[in-house]
Amino acid sequence: MASTGDQSASVGTPVTAENNPLRVAADKRLPRIAGPCSMVMFGVTGDLAQKKLLPAIYDLANRGLLPPGFSFVGFARRDWTDAKFAEVFHDAVQAHARTPFREDVWESLAQGIRFVSGAFDDADAFTNLATTVQKLDMERGTGGNTAFYLSIPPDWFAPVTERLQAAGLSDAEPDTWRRVIIEKPFGDDLESAQQLNAIVEGVFPPDSVFRIDHYLGKETVQNLLALRFANQLFEPIWNANYVDHVQITMAEDIGIGGRAGYYDDVGAAKDVIQNHLLQLLALTAMEEPIAFSASAVRAEKEKVLASVRLPEDLNASTSRGRYTGGWQGGEEVRGYLHEDGVQAEKNTETYAAITLDVNTRRWAGVPFYLRTGKRLGKRVSEIAVVFKRAPRLPFSTGATEELGQNAIVIRVQPDEGITMRFGSKVPGSQMDVRDVTMDFGYGASFTESSPEAYERLILDVLLGDPPLFPRHEEVELSWQILDPIVNHWKAQDAPPADYRAGTWGPKESDEMLSRHGREWRRP
């Protein structure tokens, strides 16, 4: 039989994955594995590194996502040998790793572990670091590719970046890369963020600067984009025609612990709203990107943040509080002012709630309520899209007196999933409509457990895949939103309102919503 032009498979030949002419997508069973590289981490003795970052490195290795010659260099002031640091690394993995400990995986990883002792302003230590990185490149075949993770206090971001440049560590040879990872907070206000951006991007190209927001690595946050743009069910009603308001919450049931030195200078609004919650707002309100690429997603998020407007009356549309002593989880806890290292005269808030408007056609008239706090009733992070009531109900008043507003709730943590709330008839002879919920949970729907956010984000850095990392434009737009609120609070020169530990914040926060006939969700 003559050929018809399709020569990919002959007649009678079984169509396989290899010869199928319609196969255009990569095999989804094949994971993305980082190429040859190394990582240098500053601040490896810190709490974040011990509990999250070092275990995440092991978990990636355990899942086979790191290259065989992957190498890891810790940098800190401790007078440790390579062997001692490997022991500290090992203990952190055994205590906090998500995946089971496997001796063979650890032995392979440990072969590339090194330690450099020195202070962040010690030029000789950075020279030693450069030598260590170069030796690993020759011995382990890391390809000249290195990521520098700055898990350090924000005041050191700029000096360490400049030391990397002075030691020649930021210079990438052709066909290699050097990248820097910076933890929040990125700046203390708009001016400091702009200064820091100028310094960091003067050393590393913008596409080589990865600003970590671990919330963006959570499965549920990423699933928000799938929920909206992979389904026809939700997007037609995701607008001001149907949505009454949006609530974005990050609540913690713990106090500040030993973080007074950092937290007392920052407060709840700068610690959480400027980064986490405004990023969640941007993802909730953004238009559909032309592709799921870094530039396309960032462009839509930046449009949202640029369109955010503050209400005229900041007294009525914002609230700040500070927890007092009380009982939580069966334990008596002390108030913020009695925590070690806290200075009362700073008037630092542990609770912040703000109202924002998104001045676009899609969201005009829909308030976005953002709140965060410590020592609240429950640890929970969620996005609640609350819909308007039906314009007409053909039922008697009594039939719907227990019917609330429809809502879609994206649960970010700890119970990752999505809940839909809607009205349903109660079984019986009468028409009685009440709220019911339909629930999707990751744990019940998928056999594979979700990776930790830092696993995904670290792997994305090593792969050079940046959609989930905000660029300096987003950081600066976020500070433009928050700065006027923080300055307004400072001008008042009044202490935050008290709220008892274990409750859901000060009464002023409830009043912020009740003025408009709304109320906060109680998760």
- Please give the positions annotated as active site: 276
What distance in Å separates the CA atoms of residue 167 and residue 118, rounded to the nearest whole number? 14
Whether residue 468 contacts residue 219, with contact meaning beta carbons closer than 8 Å, is answered with no
R_g (Cα) of the chain, nearest Å = 26
Cis before 427? omega within 30: no
Angle at 223 between CA 476 and CA 26, to 5 degrees: 105
DSSP codes joined into one string, 128-140 = HHHHHHHHHHHHH
| CA proximity to 335, closest of 500, 495, 497, 496 | 500
- What span, in angstroms and rounded, lies between the C-alpha atoms of 317 and 494? 17
Candidates 123, 207, 185, 163; CA nearest to 196 is 185
Q: How many CA atoms lie within 13 A of 151 on its CB side?
A: 24
Spell 264-292 as b/e; 16+ CB within 10 A means b.
Answer: bebbbbbbbbbbbbbbbbbbbbbeebeee
* Cβ neighbours of residue 488 closer than 8 Å, sequence gap 6 or more: 314, 318
Q: Which two tokens stand for residue 140?
A: 């382990």
Closest residue by Cα to residue 322 from 494, 511, 499 = 499
Report the C-alpha gap between 374 and 273 in whole angstroms. Answer: 13
**Residues 6 or more apart whose Cβ sits within 8 Å of residue 245:** 366, 367, 368, 369, 386, 518
Look up residue 86 and give its amino acid. A
**Sequence-ordered strand ranges (E) for 388-477:** 407-413, 417-425, 433-441
Cα distance between the two ends of the chain = 68
3-class SS of residue 273: helix
